[in-house]
Amino acid sequence: MRYLTARVVRNFSSLRHYNYRLYWISQLISVTGTWMQNVALAWLVVTLTGSAVALGTTTALQFLPILFLSLFAGVYIDRLPKRKIVLWTQSLSAIQALALWLLVAFNAITIIEIYALSLFIGFVNAFDQPARQAFVPEMVPDEDIGNAIALNSLLFNAARTIGPAIAGLTIALVGVAPSFLINALSFIAIIAALSMMKKSRLRVSVSKVRTTLKEGIKEGVSFAMNEPSILSVLIVLVFVGTFGYNFSTILPLLAKFVLHGGPEVFGAVTSALGIGSMVGALLVAGKQRPTRKFIYTFATVFAVIDIAISLSRTYELTVLLIVALGVASIAYIASTNTSLQMNSPIHLRGRIMGLYVVIFAGSTPIGALFTGFMADWIGTTRMIFIEGLLCLVGVGSGTIYLRRKLSLMRNREIGEATEAS
C-alpha cells in the first residue's frame, strides 16, 4: 500500500506546482473541447463529401503551415515570453471554433470554408504547438520536466477519451454544430488560467542573443544534426510521425469503411485510443529520463500493432488493438518529447521543439494525403498495413544510424588515446 501511494505521488508530482496545476486543469477542459471539434469536423467532411481524399486534404491543411513555419516560430519562441504567445494562440483558436459553429449552425458551410478554416488553425498551431511544448519547463523544475510532459500526454488522452465519446453522442442526437460551440467556450478556461498564473514562479527563459532569423534556425538545426542522442530519435520520428500518427484520417475511415459504423462507432474507436494512451502516459510519468531502448521498443510495438489492426476483421478485436496502440503511441511519443527536451540546452529548447513539431505534426500533411490516396486506391486495411511496415523501417534506420555513430565515436576515442600514449 505504501509503495502504491508513493508511486501515485511520483506519477503526479508536477501538480504540486501552482502554475502547472492551473495550466493542467484548464488544458483538460480546453483539449476536451478540441477533441469534440476534431471528431465533428472529420465526420462533417466524410458526410459532406464521402471522400477519403477530402478528409486527408482537410487534415493536411491543418498541418501544412506547421511544416513550413514551426522552425521560424521556434526562433521567436526562444526570444519571447512563452505564456504570452500561448495566450494569443489559444485566443485565435477560440475564434476559429466560433466561426465553424456559426457556419454550420446557419447551414452556410461547404468544403471550401472547411479548407480555409483548417488552413487558418494550421497557421495558429505553427506557433502554438512548439510554444506550449517549450512552456512546460518554465512551470516546473528540471527534475519534474519528464513527469510534466507525461501528465500533458495524460490530459491530452483523457480529453481524447471524453471528447469523442461526448461528440459521437452529440452528433447522433443533435448534429455536429454544438461540438464547435462547446470547443469555442472551452478556451475560456485556458485563457483565464494563463492570466491567473503567478509570474514570479515562472522560470522564464528568453534568449538574449539576437541573431538573424536564418542564423537562429541554423543554430538549432545544426545542434540537432550533430547530437546523436537527438538525431537518432528524430530519424525514427520522421517515419512514425508521417506514417503512424494519422489517427484523424485513419480512424473515421476505419469506422466507416471497415467496421461499417456511424458516428457512435467513430467516437468509440477514438475513445479506445484515448484510454490506451492514458495508460501509456501513466507508464512513462514516473520516468525522469527515458532510455533510447525504451523509446525504440515502444516505436516497434506501435508499428507491430498497426499491422495487426490491418489484419483484424472484428469490431471487438479492433477496439482492443486500438487500446494497445494508444498505450504504445503515448509511451513512445511522450518519452521522445522528454528525451529531446532533456538533451537540449535551455536557450535552444524553443527551436528543438519547433523541429520536433515540424517532424511530428508538420509531416501530417504528407501522411494524411498519403493515407487518403492509398485508402482510395488499395483500401483502408492495406493502407494501414503498409504504414505499419514503414514505421518499422524508421525504427531500423534510427537504430542503424545510432550504432554506426557510436561505433565511429568509440573508434575515434581509441585512436586519440593511442596517439596520446
Return the pLDDT at 4: 47
**Model confidence band, residue 247 (pLDDT cutoffs 50, 70, 90):** confident
- For residue 25, pLDDT over 50 is answered with yes
- For residue 1, pLDDT over 60 is answered with no
What are the grid coordinates assigned to 333, written together?
Answer: 511519443
- Mean pLDDT estimate for the chain: 85
| 230 residue type, one letter | I
Return the pLDDT at 18: 93
- Beta carbons of 82 and 64 less than 8 angstroms apart: no
- Beta carbons of 281 and 14 less than 8 angstroms apart: no
- For residue 320, pLDDT over 90 is answered with yes
Return the pLDDT at 3: 47
Cα 201 to Cα 69, 82, 140, 214, 321, distances in angstroms: 30, 14, 9, 33, 42
- Comparing 154-163, 382-391, 411-420, the range with the smallest average pLDDT is 411-420
What DSSP character marks residue 13?
G
- For residue 348, pLDDT over 50 is answered with yes
Helices within 175-262 (DSSP H only)? 177-196, 213-225, 228-243, 247-253
pLDDT, tens digit (0-9, with 9 covering 90-100), for 184-220: 999 999 999 999 999 888 887 666 666 677 788 888 8
41: enclosing H helix or E strand = helix 18-49
Cα separation, 60 vs 364, in Å, equals 6
User: Which letter, b or e, does each residue of 328-339 get, where b requires 16 or more Cβ atoms within 10 Å of its Cβ?
Assistant: bbbbbbbbbbbb
Return the pLDDT at 43: 86
Average pLDDT of the residues in 251-278: 82
Return the pLDDT at 214: 78
Average pLDDT of the residues in 234-248: 88
Average pLDDT of the residues in 384-394: 94
| 188 residue type, one letter | I
Return the pLDDT at 171: 87
Return the pLDDT at 210: 64
| 174 residue type, one letter | V
Cα separation, 199 vs 82, in Å, equals 12
- Beta carbons of 255 and 265 less than 8 angstroms apart: yes
Cα separation, 384 vs 249, in Å, equals 11
pLDDT, tens digit (0-9, with 9 covering 90-100), for 335-344: 888 888 888 8
- For residue 395, pLDDT over 90 is answered with yes
Return the pLDDT at 143: 80
pLDDT, tens digit (0-9, with 9 covering 90-100), for 99-149: 999 999 999 999 999 999 999 999 999 899 888 888 888 898 878 887 888
Return the pLDDT at 421: 59
Average pLDDT of the residues in 324-339: 88
The gap between the terminal CA atoms of the chain, to the nearest Å, is 57
Cα separation, 52 vs 380, in Å, equals 10
301: enclosing H helix or E strand = helix 292-311
What are the grid coordinates assigned to 212, written together?
Answer: 538573424
The domains found in the chain, sorted by start residue, are: 10-197+212-420 (1.20.1250.20)
Average pLDDT of the residues in 19-23: 94
Does the reported pTM lie above 0.75? no
What does the CA dihedral 182, 185, 188, 190 come to, rounded to 10 degrees?
30
pLDDT, tens digit (0-9, with 9 covering 90-100), for 36-67: 998 899 889 988 888 778 887 887 788 788 87
**Model confidence band, residue 417 (pLDDT cutoffs 50, 70, 90):** low
379: enclosing H helix or E strand = none
Residue 186 half-sphere exposure toward CB, CA atoms < 13 A: 24
**Residue percentage of the chain with pLDDT more than 70:** 92
- For residue 412, pLDDT over 80 is answered with no
> What three-state secondary structure class fits 163?
helix
How large is the C-alpha radius of gyration of the chain? 21
